[in-house]
Chain A
Amino acid sequence: MTGQEFPGKLPNAFMTAGTSSFSEFLMQVAPELLPGRRPLPPGDFAAVSAHATTIVALRTADGVVMAGDRRATMGNYISSRDIEKVFPADGYSLVGIAGTAGLGIELVKLYQLELEHYEKIEGAPLTLNGKANRLATMLRGNLGIALQGLAVVPLFAGFDVDAASLDEAGKIYSFDVVGGIYAERDFDSIGSGSMFAKSSLKKRYRRDIGTEEAVKIAVESLYDAADDDSATGGPDPTRDLYPVVMTATAEGSKRIDEAVVADVARSVIAARTENPYG
Protein backbone atom coordinates (compact mmCIF):
# COMPACT_ATOMS: atom_id res chain seq x y z
CA MET A 1 0.00 0.00 0.00
CA THR A 2 1.30 3.42 -0.80
CA GLY A 3 0.43 6.74 0.74
CA GLN A 4 -0.91 8.04 -2.54
CA GLU A 5 -3.84 5.63 -2.39
CA PHE A 6 -5.34 7.17 0.66
CA PRO A 7 -6.42 10.81 0.55
CA GLY A 8 -5.07 13.18 3.14
CA LYS A 9 -2.01 11.22 4.18
CA LEU A 10 1.39 12.79 3.68
CA PRO A 11 3.15 11.47 0.56
CA ASN A 12 5.58 8.64 1.18
CA ALA A 13 8.64 10.82 0.52
CA PHE A 14 7.90 12.63 3.80
CA MET A 15 7.82 9.42 5.79
CA THR A 16 10.82 7.68 4.23
CA ALA A 17 13.85 7.21 6.42
CA GLY A 18 17.35 7.62 5.03
CA THR A 19 18.17 11.17 4.09
CA SER A 20 18.91 14.04 6.43
CA SER A 21 19.42 16.42 3.54
CA PHE A 22 16.76 18.96 2.70
CA SER A 23 17.96 19.47 -0.87
CA GLU A 24 17.78 15.71 -1.54
CA PHE A 25 14.26 15.71 -0.15
CA LEU A 26 13.40 18.72 -2.31
CA MET A 27 14.71 16.86 -5.36
CA GLN A 28 12.07 14.20 -4.72
CA VAL A 29 9.03 16.27 -3.84
CA ALA A 30 9.54 19.69 -5.43
CA PRO A 31 12.52 19.74 -7.83
CA GLU A 32 11.24 23.02 -9.30
CA LEU A 33 12.23 24.76 -6.06
CA LEU A 34 15.91 23.88 -6.44
CA PRO A 35 18.09 26.72 -7.68
CA GLY A 36 19.78 26.09 -10.98
CA ARG A 37 17.57 23.24 -12.16
CA ARG A 38 15.63 25.27 -14.68
CA PRO A 39 16.25 24.30 -18.28
CA LEU A 40 17.53 27.26 -20.32
CA PRO A 41 17.61 27.69 -24.08
CA PRO A 42 21.15 27.81 -25.52
CA GLY A 43 22.92 31.14 -25.18
CA ASP A 44 24.64 33.39 -22.69
CA PHE A 45 22.42 35.01 -20.08
CA ALA A 46 24.96 36.93 -18.01
CA ALA A 47 23.17 40.22 -18.70
CA VAL A 48 19.73 39.24 -17.38
CA SER A 49 20.49 39.32 -13.68
CA ALA A 50 22.32 41.53 -11.22
CA HIS A 51 25.86 40.60 -10.30
CA ALA A 52 27.08 40.56 -6.75
CA THR A 53 30.70 41.43 -6.33
CA THR A 54 33.52 41.39 -3.81
CA ILE A 55 33.74 39.27 -0.64
CA VAL A 56 36.82 38.82 1.54
CA ALA A 57 37.45 36.37 4.35
CA LEU A 58 40.43 36.08 6.67
CA ARG A 59 41.53 33.89 9.51
CA THR A 60 42.15 35.48 12.86
CA ALA A 61 43.42 34.33 16.24
CA ASP A 62 39.79 33.88 17.36
CA GLY A 63 38.23 32.38 14.23
CA VAL A 64 37.32 34.05 10.98
CA VAL A 65 36.12 37.42 9.68
CA MET A 66 34.14 37.84 6.45
CA ALA A 67 33.19 41.10 4.79
CA GLY A 68 31.35 42.09 1.63
CA ASP A 69 30.70 45.37 -0.16
CA ARG A 70 27.15 46.51 -0.85
CA ARG A 71 27.02 46.84 -4.61
CA ALA A 72 25.26 44.79 -7.27
CA THR A 73 25.65 45.65 -10.94
CA MET A 74 24.06 44.88 -14.29
CA GLY A 75 26.66 45.76 -16.87
CA ASN A 76 27.60 49.38 -16.24
CA TYR A 77 24.40 50.02 -14.28
CA ILE A 78 24.43 49.89 -10.47
CA SER A 79 21.38 47.79 -9.64
CA SER A 80 21.75 47.93 -5.88
CA ARG A 81 23.73 49.99 -3.39
CA ASP A 82 22.61 48.17 -0.28
CA ILE A 83 22.55 44.48 -1.17
CA GLU A 84 23.85 42.14 1.54
CA LYS A 85 26.05 39.32 0.33
CA VAL A 86 27.48 37.91 3.55
CA PHE A 87 25.24 35.67 5.65
CA PRO A 88 25.50 33.48 8.71
CA ALA A 89 25.24 29.90 7.36
CA ASP A 90 24.49 28.60 10.85
CA GLY A 91 25.58 29.17 14.43
CA TYR A 92 29.30 28.80 13.67
CA SER A 93 29.82 29.50 9.99
CA LEU A 94 29.49 32.24 7.38
CA VAL A 95 28.85 32.25 3.67
CA GLY A 96 29.33 35.03 1.14
CA ILE A 97 28.35 35.02 -2.52
CA ALA A 98 29.60 36.52 -5.75
CA GLY A 99 28.19 36.18 -9.25
CA THR A 100 24.52 36.06 -10.24
CA ALA A 101 22.87 37.69 -7.25
CA GLY A 102 19.41 36.16 -7.52
CA LEU A 103 20.73 32.61 -7.75
CA GLY A 104 23.32 33.25 -5.08
CA ILE A 105 20.78 34.47 -2.52
CA GLU A 106 18.55 31.52 -3.35
CA LEU A 107 21.50 29.17 -2.91
CA VAL A 108 22.34 30.70 0.47
CA LYS A 109 18.72 30.40 1.61
CA LEU A 110 18.66 26.73 0.65
CA TYR A 111 22.08 26.16 2.20
CA GLN A 112 21.10 27.72 5.52
CA LEU A 113 18.03 25.52 5.58
CA GLU A 114 20.10 22.49 4.57
CA LEU A 115 22.30 22.93 7.65
CA GLU A 116 19.37 23.62 9.95
CA HIS A 117 17.40 20.67 8.57
CA TYR A 118 20.31 18.31 9.13
CA GLU A 119 20.74 19.59 12.66
CA LYS A 120 17.06 19.09 13.45
CA ILE A 121 16.79 15.62 11.93
CA GLU A 122 20.07 14.31 13.34
CA GLY A 123 20.03 16.18 16.62
CA ALA A 124 23.61 17.40 16.04
CA PRO A 125 25.14 19.82 13.53
CA LEU A 126 27.39 18.78 10.65
CA THR A 127 31.14 19.16 11.13
CA LEU A 128 32.68 22.23 9.49
CA ASN A 129 34.22 20.09 6.73
CA GLY A 130 30.87 18.41 6.22
CA LYS A 131 29.20 21.79 5.81
CA ALA A 132 31.79 22.91 3.24
CA ASN A 133 31.45 19.66 1.27
CA ARG A 134 27.70 19.98 1.29
CA LEU A 135 27.98 23.47 -0.23
CA ALA A 136 30.25 22.09 -2.97
CA THR A 137 27.69 19.36 -3.74
CA MET A 138 24.90 21.90 -4.03
CA LEU A 139 27.05 24.04 -6.30
CA ARG A 140 27.61 21.14 -8.70
CA GLY A 141 23.92 21.21 -9.60
CA ASN A 142 24.40 24.73 -10.94
CA LEU A 143 27.13 23.90 -13.44
CA GLY A 144 24.84 23.84 -16.47
CA ILE A 145 23.53 27.35 -16.04
CA ALA A 146 26.90 28.58 -14.74
CA LEU A 147 28.33 27.83 -18.16
CA GLN A 148 25.56 29.95 -19.68
CA GLY A 149 26.68 33.00 -17.78
CA LEU A 150 24.70 32.54 -14.56
CA ALA A 151 27.57 31.47 -12.34
CA VAL A 152 27.48 31.70 -8.55
CA VAL A 153 30.62 31.33 -6.48
CA PRO A 154 30.40 31.23 -2.70
CA LEU A 155 33.04 31.73 -0.08
CA PHE A 156 32.63 29.73 3.11
CA ALA A 157 34.32 30.32 6.46
CA GLY A 158 33.65 29.10 9.94
CA PHE A 159 34.76 28.20 13.39
CA ASP A 160 35.49 24.50 13.75
CA VAL A 161 34.22 23.49 17.19
CA ASP A 162 35.92 20.09 16.80
CA ALA A 163 39.36 21.59 16.12
CA ALA A 164 42.24 20.35 18.28
CA SER A 165 43.25 23.89 19.27
CA LEU A 166 42.02 27.45 18.90
CA ASP A 167 44.77 28.16 16.34
CA GLU A 168 43.28 25.61 13.96
CA ALA A 169 39.66 26.48 14.56
CA GLY A 170 39.19 29.22 11.94
CA LYS A 171 38.80 27.75 8.46
CA ILE A 172 38.13 29.21 5.02
CA TYR A 173 37.01 27.32 1.92
CA SER A 174 36.76 28.68 -1.58
CA PHE A 175 34.89 27.08 -4.48
CA ASP A 176 34.70 27.22 -8.23
CA VAL A 177 31.68 26.87 -10.52
CA VAL A 178 32.22 23.14 -11.09
CA GLY A 179 31.96 22.51 -7.35
CA GLY A 180 35.68 22.28 -6.68
CA ILE A 181 36.52 22.98 -3.05
CA TYR A 182 39.77 24.49 -1.80
CA ALA A 183 40.84 25.03 1.80
CA GLU A 184 42.48 28.46 2.14
CA ARG A 185 45.37 28.98 4.51
CA ASP A 186 45.15 32.64 5.56
CA PHE A 187 42.66 34.65 3.55
CA ASP A 188 40.74 34.63 0.31
CA SER A 189 38.51 36.84 -1.78
CA ILE A 190 35.94 36.24 -4.52
CA GLY A 191 34.16 38.44 -7.04
CA SER A 192 35.17 41.04 -9.57
CA GLY A 193 37.21 43.09 -7.10
CA SER A 194 38.93 40.08 -5.56
CA MET A 195 42.24 40.69 -7.35
CA PHE A 196 42.60 44.11 -5.75
CA ALA A 197 41.25 43.01 -2.38
CA LYS A 198 43.73 40.14 -2.28
CA SER A 199 46.63 42.41 -3.18
CA SER A 200 45.60 44.69 -0.35
CA LEU A 201 45.32 41.80 2.11
CA LYS A 202 48.66 40.42 0.94
CA LYS A 203 50.39 43.57 2.18
CA ARG A 204 48.50 43.97 5.42
CA TYR A 205 47.58 40.51 6.65
CA ARG A 206 49.57 38.92 9.44
CA ARG A 207 48.85 35.59 11.07
CA ASP A 208 47.29 35.65 14.53
CA ILE A 209 45.76 39.09 14.28
CA GLY A 210 42.78 39.72 16.54
CA THR A 211 39.21 40.18 15.31
CA GLU A 212 39.29 43.96 15.69
CA GLU A 213 42.42 44.32 13.56
CA ALA A 214 41.01 41.84 11.02
CA VAL A 215 37.82 43.88 10.65
CA LYS A 216 39.97 46.93 9.90
CA ILE A 217 42.05 45.31 7.17
CA ALA A 218 38.98 43.59 5.69
CA VAL A 219 37.21 46.95 5.34
CA GLU A 220 40.40 48.48 3.95
CA SER A 221 40.79 45.68 1.38
CA LEU A 222 37.23 46.35 0.19
CA TYR A 223 38.12 50.04 -0.08
CA ASP A 224 41.05 49.08 -2.29
CA ALA A 225 38.83 46.81 -4.38
CA ALA A 226 36.29 49.62 -4.84
CA ASP A 227 39.13 51.96 -5.76
CA ASP A 228 40.07 49.93 -8.82
CA ASP A 229 36.97 47.87 -9.65
CA SER A 230 33.86 49.72 -10.82
CA ALA A 231 31.59 46.85 -9.78
CA THR A 232 32.65 47.04 -6.13
CA GLY A 233 31.08 49.70 -3.96
CA GLY A 234 33.17 51.68 -1.51
CA PRO A 235 31.96 52.89 1.88
CA ASP A 236 29.14 55.39 1.30
CA PRO A 237 28.97 57.98 4.13
CA THR A 238 26.40 60.11 2.30
CA ARG A 239 23.86 57.27 2.45
CA ASP A 240 25.28 55.73 5.58
CA LEU A 241 26.04 52.44 3.83
CA TYR A 242 29.05 50.41 4.89
CA PRO A 243 30.27 46.87 4.24
CA VAL A 244 28.60 43.92 5.96
CA VAL A 245 31.14 42.35 8.30
CA MET A 246 30.59 39.11 10.20
CA THR A 247 32.68 36.93 12.46
CA ALA A 248 32.57 33.29 13.48
CA THR A 249 34.37 32.61 16.73
CA ALA A 250 33.97 30.38 19.78
CA GLU A 251 31.00 32.58 20.69
CA GLY A 252 29.29 31.74 17.42
CA SER A 253 28.63 33.64 14.23
CA LYS A 254 27.53 37.22 14.50
CA ARG A 255 27.39 40.44 12.56
CA ILE A 256 29.68 43.24 13.62
CA ASP A 257 27.60 46.18 14.69
CA GLU A 258 27.00 48.60 11.82
CA ALA A 259 28.08 51.56 13.94
CA VAL A 260 31.45 49.87 14.57
CA VAL A 261 31.95 49.15 10.86
CA ALA A 262 30.95 52.73 10.06
CA ASP A 263 33.65 54.02 12.43
CA VAL A 264 36.24 51.74 10.88
CA ALA A 265 35.22 52.76 7.36
CA ARG A 266 35.34 56.47 8.26
CA SER A 267 38.83 56.08 9.69
CA VAL A 268 39.93 54.33 6.50
CA ILE A 269 38.51 57.20 4.44
CA ALA A 270 40.24 59.74 6.70
CA ALA A 271 43.58 57.92 6.37
CA ARG A 272 43.21 57.75 2.58
CA THR A 273 42.40 61.43 2.42
CA GLU A 274 45.84 62.09 3.88
CA ASN A 275 47.57 59.39 1.90
CA PRO A 276 45.55 58.13 -1.11
CA TYR A 277 47.77 55.07 -1.57
CA GLY A 278 47.34 53.67 1.92
Chain B
Amino acid sequence: MAMQFYTSPEQIMRDRAEFARKNISRGRNVVVLSCADGVLLVAENVSSALHKVYELYDRIGFAAVGKYNEFENLRTAGVRMADLRGYSYDRRDVNAASLAKAYAQTLGAIFSEQTKPFEVEICVAGVGAGPQEDELYRLTFDGSINDEPGYLAMGGDADQLKEILAEGHDFEAPLADAFALALRALSSSGGNGTPRELTKEVLEVAVLERARPGRAFRRIEGLALEALLASPAAEAQAEAAAEETTEAADTDES
Protein backbone atom coordinates (compact mmCIF):
# COMPACT_ATOMS: atom_id res chain seq x y z
CA MET B 1 0.00 0.00 0.00
CA ALA B 2 1.28 3.43 -0.94
CA MET B 3 2.37 5.61 1.92
CA GLN B 4 0.31 8.74 2.49
CA PHE B 5 2.52 11.61 3.53
CA TYR B 6 1.02 14.23 5.77
CA THR B 7 0.83 17.71 4.31
CA SER B 8 -0.60 20.47 6.43
CA PRO B 9 -3.66 22.31 5.11
CA GLU B 10 -1.68 25.54 5.29
CA GLN B 11 0.94 24.08 3.01
CA ILE B 12 -1.65 22.79 0.50
CA MET B 13 -3.45 26.13 0.34
CA ARG B 14 -0.21 28.04 0.09
CA ASP B 15 0.98 25.87 -2.77
CA ARG B 16 -2.27 26.27 -4.64
CA ALA B 17 -2.36 30.00 -4.12
CA GLU B 18 1.21 30.36 -5.27
CA PHE B 19 0.54 28.24 -8.33
CA ALA B 20 -2.49 30.32 -9.31
CA ARG B 21 -0.83 33.65 -8.57
CA LYS B 22 2.26 32.76 -10.59
CA ASN B 23 0.26 31.83 -13.67
CA ILE B 24 -2.09 34.80 -13.47
CA SER B 25 0.80 37.23 -13.17
CA ARG B 26 2.09 36.13 -16.55
CA GLY B 27 -1.03 37.46 -18.27
CA ARG B 28 -1.53 40.87 -19.76
CA ASN B 29 -3.53 43.43 -17.84
CA VAL B 30 -7.14 44.51 -17.80
CA VAL B 31 -8.45 47.81 -16.48
CA VAL B 32 -12.04 48.61 -15.50
CA LEU B 33 -13.09 52.07 -14.42
CA SER B 34 -16.25 54.05 -14.04
CA CYS B 35 -16.63 57.47 -15.56
CA ALA B 36 -19.43 59.91 -16.30
CA ASP B 37 -20.58 58.03 -19.43
CA GLY B 38 -20.54 54.56 -17.92
CA VAL B 39 -18.17 51.77 -17.00
CA LEU B 40 -15.19 51.41 -19.30
CA LEU B 41 -13.50 48.02 -19.72
CA VAL B 42 -10.13 47.97 -21.46
CA ALA B 43 -7.99 44.89 -21.99
CA GLU B 44 -4.70 44.36 -23.65
CA ASN B 45 -5.47 41.45 -25.92
CA VAL B 46 -3.60 40.33 -29.03
CA SER B 47 -6.45 38.13 -30.21
CA SER B 48 -9.44 39.71 -31.90
CA ALA B 49 -11.55 36.57 -31.62
CA LEU B 50 -10.88 35.41 -28.06
CA HIS B 51 -12.20 38.18 -25.89
CA LYS B 52 -11.38 39.11 -22.32
CA VAL B 53 -14.27 41.52 -21.90
CA TYR B 54 -17.87 40.38 -22.22
CA GLU B 55 -21.52 41.21 -21.66
CA LEU B 56 -23.28 39.34 -18.87
CA TYR B 57 -26.62 41.12 -18.74
CA ASP B 58 -28.40 44.41 -19.41
CA ARG B 59 -26.30 46.54 -17.07
CA ILE B 60 -23.57 44.05 -16.19
CA GLY B 61 -20.21 43.36 -17.81
CA PHE B 62 -17.46 40.83 -17.25
CA ALA B 63 -13.69 41.07 -17.59
CA ALA B 64 -11.06 38.46 -16.91
CA VAL B 65 -7.39 37.63 -16.98
CA GLY B 66 -5.77 34.22 -16.78
CA LYS B 67 -6.51 30.91 -18.40
CA TYR B 68 -8.98 31.30 -21.24
CA ASN B 69 -10.88 28.02 -20.91
CA GLU B 70 -11.41 28.62 -17.21
CA PHE B 71 -12.75 32.15 -17.34
CA GLU B 72 -14.81 31.25 -20.41
CA ASN B 73 -16.36 28.57 -18.26
CA LEU B 74 -17.17 31.11 -15.57
CA ARG B 75 -18.50 33.62 -18.06
CA THR B 76 -20.89 31.08 -19.60
CA ALA B 77 -22.09 30.19 -16.12
CA GLY B 78 -22.64 33.87 -15.39
CA VAL B 79 -24.67 34.46 -18.54
CA ARG B 80 -26.78 31.41 -17.76
CA MET B 81 -27.30 32.46 -14.17
CA ALA B 82 -28.25 36.00 -15.14
CA ASP B 83 -30.61 34.88 -17.91
CA LEU B 84 -32.24 32.28 -15.69
CA ARG B 85 -32.82 34.80 -12.93
CA GLY B 86 -34.13 37.43 -15.32
CA TYR B 87 -36.45 34.88 -16.90
CA SER B 88 -37.88 33.56 -13.66
CA TYR B 89 -38.26 36.97 -12.00
CA ASP B 90 -37.70 40.20 -13.89
CA ARG B 91 -34.85 41.74 -15.84
CA ARG B 92 -34.36 44.32 -13.10
CA ASP B 93 -33.87 41.58 -10.51
CA VAL B 94 -30.51 40.66 -12.00
CA ASN B 95 -27.72 42.55 -10.25
CA ALA B 96 -23.95 42.56 -10.21
CA ALA B 97 -23.67 41.82 -6.50
CA SER B 98 -25.56 38.51 -6.63
CA LEU B 99 -23.56 37.39 -9.66
CA ALA B 100 -20.31 38.32 -7.94
CA LYS B 101 -21.33 36.39 -4.83
CA ALA B 102 -22.17 33.29 -6.84
CA TYR B 103 -18.80 33.56 -8.57
CA ALA B 104 -17.07 33.92 -5.22
CA GLN B 105 -18.74 30.77 -3.93
CA THR B 106 -17.87 28.86 -7.05
CA LEU B 107 -14.24 29.98 -7.17
CA GLY B 108 -13.88 29.31 -3.45
CA ALA B 109 -15.31 25.82 -3.83
CA ILE B 110 -13.01 25.04 -6.75
CA PHE B 111 -10.03 26.37 -4.83
CA SER B 112 -10.54 24.20 -1.78
CA GLU B 113 -12.12 21.19 -3.41
CA GLN B 114 -10.02 20.53 -6.47
CA THR B 115 -6.36 19.79 -6.79
CA LYS B 116 -5.83 22.64 -9.22
CA PRO B 117 -7.41 26.04 -8.59
CA PHE B 118 -8.70 28.19 -11.46
CA GLU B 119 -5.89 30.40 -12.72
CA VAL B 120 -8.12 33.41 -13.22
CA GLU B 121 -9.00 36.77 -11.84
CA ILE B 122 -12.36 38.18 -12.87
CA CYS B 123 -14.29 41.38 -12.58
CA VAL B 124 -18.06 41.79 -12.45
CA ALA B 125 -19.01 45.36 -13.28
CA GLY B 126 -22.46 46.87 -13.01
CA VAL B 127 -23.38 50.29 -14.34
CA GLY B 128 -25.67 52.35 -12.13
CA ALA B 129 -27.74 55.51 -12.51
CA GLY B 130 -24.73 57.69 -11.60
CA PRO B 131 -20.96 57.04 -11.49
CA GLN B 132 -21.06 56.74 -7.71
CA GLU B 133 -23.58 53.94 -7.97
CA ASP B 134 -21.48 51.80 -10.29
CA GLU B 135 -20.47 48.47 -8.81
CA LEU B 136 -17.05 46.97 -9.48
CA TYR B 137 -16.20 43.60 -7.95
CA ARG B 138 -12.86 41.90 -8.35
CA LEU B 139 -12.75 38.18 -7.66
CA THR B 140 -9.58 36.22 -7.23
CA PHE B 141 -8.80 32.53 -7.76
CA ASP B 142 -9.55 31.59 -4.13
CA GLY B 143 -13.01 33.12 -4.10
CA SER B 144 -12.07 36.36 -2.36
CA ILE B 145 -14.39 39.15 -3.38
CA ASN B 146 -13.26 42.76 -3.40
CA ASP B 147 -15.60 45.68 -3.82
CA GLU B 148 -13.49 48.31 -5.57
CA PRO B 149 -15.57 51.36 -6.40
CA GLY B 150 -14.21 53.63 -9.13
CA TYR B 151 -11.48 51.62 -10.76
CA LEU B 152 -9.69 48.29 -10.67
CA ALA B 153 -6.84 46.54 -12.45
CA MET B 154 -6.11 42.85 -12.91
CA GLY B 155 -3.17 40.89 -14.30
CA GLY B 156 0.55 40.70 -13.77
CA ASP B 157 1.21 44.34 -12.97
CA ALA B 158 -2.09 45.14 -11.31
CA ASP B 159 -0.55 46.97 -8.34
CA GLN B 160 1.50 49.25 -10.56
CA LEU B 161 -1.53 49.97 -12.74
CA LYS B 162 -3.68 50.69 -9.73
CA GLU B 163 -1.30 53.42 -8.60
CA ILE B 164 -1.65 55.20 -11.92
CA LEU B 165 -5.43 54.79 -11.86
CA ALA B 166 -5.61 56.10 -8.29
CA GLU B 167 -3.76 59.23 -9.32
CA GLY B 168 -5.82 60.08 -12.36
CA HIS B 169 -9.27 58.66 -11.65
CA ASP B 170 -12.23 60.99 -11.71
CA PHE B 171 -15.83 59.80 -11.49
CA GLU B 172 -17.02 62.76 -13.51
CA ALA B 173 -14.53 62.40 -16.37
CA PRO B 174 -15.96 61.84 -19.87
CA LEU B 175 -15.33 58.58 -21.71
CA ALA B 176 -12.38 59.88 -23.75
CA ASP B 177 -10.52 61.00 -20.61
CA ALA B 178 -11.22 57.73 -18.85
CA PHE B 179 -9.94 55.88 -21.90
CA ALA B 180 -6.77 57.96 -21.95
CA LEU B 181 -6.18 57.10 -18.30
CA ALA B 182 -6.77 53.39 -18.94
CA LEU B 183 -4.36 53.59 -21.86
CA ARG B 184 -1.74 55.29 -19.71
CA ALA B 185 -2.09 52.60 -17.06
CA LEU B 186 -1.93 49.71 -19.51
CA SER B 187 1.02 51.12 -21.44
CA SER B 188 3.00 51.62 -18.23
CA SER B 189 3.53 47.90 -17.76
CA GLY B 190 5.88 45.57 -19.60
CA GLY B 191 8.12 48.27 -21.07
CA ASN B 192 10.85 48.02 -18.44
CA GLY B 193 9.89 51.36 -16.93
CA THR B 194 9.20 53.21 -20.19
CA PRO B 195 5.63 53.40 -21.48
CA ARG B 196 4.86 51.23 -24.48
CA GLU B 197 2.69 52.36 -27.35
CA LEU B 198 -0.52 50.33 -27.59
CA THR B 199 -2.23 50.21 -30.97
CA LYS B 200 -5.83 49.33 -31.71
CA GLU B 201 -4.75 45.82 -32.74
CA VAL B 202 -3.83 44.92 -29.17
CA LEU B 203 -6.65 46.72 -27.40
CA GLU B 204 -10.04 45.35 -26.56
CA VAL B 205 -12.40 48.07 -25.43
CA ALA B 206 -16.02 47.95 -24.31
CA VAL B 207 -18.29 50.22 -22.37
CA LEU B 208 -21.43 49.77 -20.31
CA GLU B 209 -23.20 52.92 -21.43
CA ARG B 210 -25.06 54.62 -18.65
CA ALA B 211 -27.50 56.44 -20.92
CA ARG B 212 -28.39 53.48 -23.12
CA PRO B 213 -31.66 51.77 -22.14
CA GLY B 214 -31.79 47.96 -21.99
CA ARG B 215 -28.59 46.20 -22.94
CA ALA B 216 -25.92 48.76 -22.10
CA PHE B 217 -22.87 46.79 -23.22
CA ARG B 218 -21.21 48.04 -26.39
CA ARG B 219 -17.89 47.02 -27.89
CA ILE B 220 -15.77 49.86 -29.19
CA GLU B 221 -13.97 48.44 -32.21
CA GLY B 222 -12.73 49.41 -35.64
CA LEU B 223 -13.43 53.00 -36.56
CA ALA B 224 -14.97 53.83 -33.20
CA LEU B 225 -11.80 52.68 -31.45
CA GLU B 226 -9.64 54.62 -33.91
CA ALA B 227 -11.67 57.73 -33.16
CA LEU B 228 -11.23 57.18 -29.43
CA LEU B 229 -7.49 56.66 -29.86
CA ALA B 230 -7.34 59.85 -31.90
CA SER B 231 -9.20 61.91 -29.28
CA PRO B 232 -7.07 64.76 -27.83
CA ALA B 233 -6.73 63.16 -24.41
CA ALA B 234 -5.48 59.87 -25.81
CA GLU B 235 -3.24 61.64 -28.34
CA ALA B 236 -1.56 63.64 -25.59
CA GLN B 237 -1.04 60.38 -23.74
CA ALA B 238 0.51 58.68 -26.81
CA GLU B 239 2.75 61.67 -27.46
CA ALA B 240 3.97 61.65 -23.89
CA ALA B 241 4.69 57.96 -24.28
CA ALA B 242 6.57 58.53 -27.54
CA GLU B 243 8.59 61.38 -26.01
CA GLU B 244 9.59 59.33 -23.06
CA THR B 245 10.58 56.51 -25.40
CA THR B 246 12.82 58.81 -27.44
CA GLU B 247 14.24 60.29 -24.27
CA ALA B 248 14.95 56.81 -23.02
CA ALA B 249 16.54 55.97 -26.38
CA ASP B 250 18.64 59.15 -26.17
CA THR B 251 19.89 58.24 -22.75
CA ASP B 252 20.65 54.78 -24.01
CA GLU B 253 22.71 56.19 -26.85
CA SER B 254 24.65 58.66 -24.76
Contacts and interface: CB of A to CB of B under 8 A. Distances in A.
A8 B113 contact: no
Interface string B79-120: 111011011100000000000001001101110111000000
Interface stretch (A23-31, A141-149, A204-212): A23-31
7 contacts: A1-B113, A9-B110, A14-B81, A17-B73, A25-B80, A26-B84, A121-B79
B222 to A, nearest CB: 15
Closest 5 CB pairs of A and B: A9-B109, A8-B105, A14-B77, A6-B109, A6-B113
A30 B106 contact: no
A10 B76 CA distance: 12
B76 A1 contact: no
A34 to B, nearest CB: 10
B162 interface: no
B177 interface: no
Nearest to B55: A120
B200 interface: no
A15 B83 contact: no
A10 B114 contact: no
Given A8-B108, A26-B84, A17 B77 contact: no
A10 B77 contact: yes
Contact of A33 (B73, B77, B88): B88
Contacts of A14: 76-77, 80-81
A22 B83 contact: yes
Contacts of B51: 123
A27 to B, nearest CB: 12
A25 B176 CA distance: 39
Interface stretch (A109-117, A215-223, A237-245): A109-117
A5 B108 CA distance: 14
Interface of A: 1, 3, 5-10, 14-15, 17, 22, 25-26, 29-30, 33, 109-110, 113, 116-117, 120-121, 123
Contacts of B109: 3, 6-9
Contacts of B87: 22, 26, 33, 109-110, 113
A29 B114 contact: no
Contacts of B113: 1, 5-6, 9
Nearest to A12: B77
A106 to B, nearest CB: 10
B83 A117 contact: yes
A6 B87 CA distance: 26
Nearest to A3: B109
B171 to A, nearest CB: 28
Contacts of A25: 80, 84
A110 B86 CA distance: 11
A53 to B, nearest CB: 27
Nearest to B105: A8
Given A8-B108, A15-B76, A30-B88, 11 more contacts: A1-B113, A3-B109, A8-B106, A9-B109, A10-B77, A10-B81, A15-B106, A22-B83, A116-B215, A117-B79, A121-B76
A17 B76 contact: yes
Contact of B86 (A9, A113, A123): A113
Contacts of B105: 8-10
Contacts of B55: 120
A33 B86 CA distance: 12
B83 A10 contact: no
A9 B83 contact: no
Nearest to B56: A120
A22 B88 CA distance: 13
Contacts of B76: 14-15, 17, 121
A110 B88 CA distance: 10
A262 B65 CA distance: 53
A116 B113 CA distance: 34
Contacts of A3: 109
Contact of B73 (A15, A22, A113): A15
Contacts of B73: 15, 17
B106 A120 contact: no
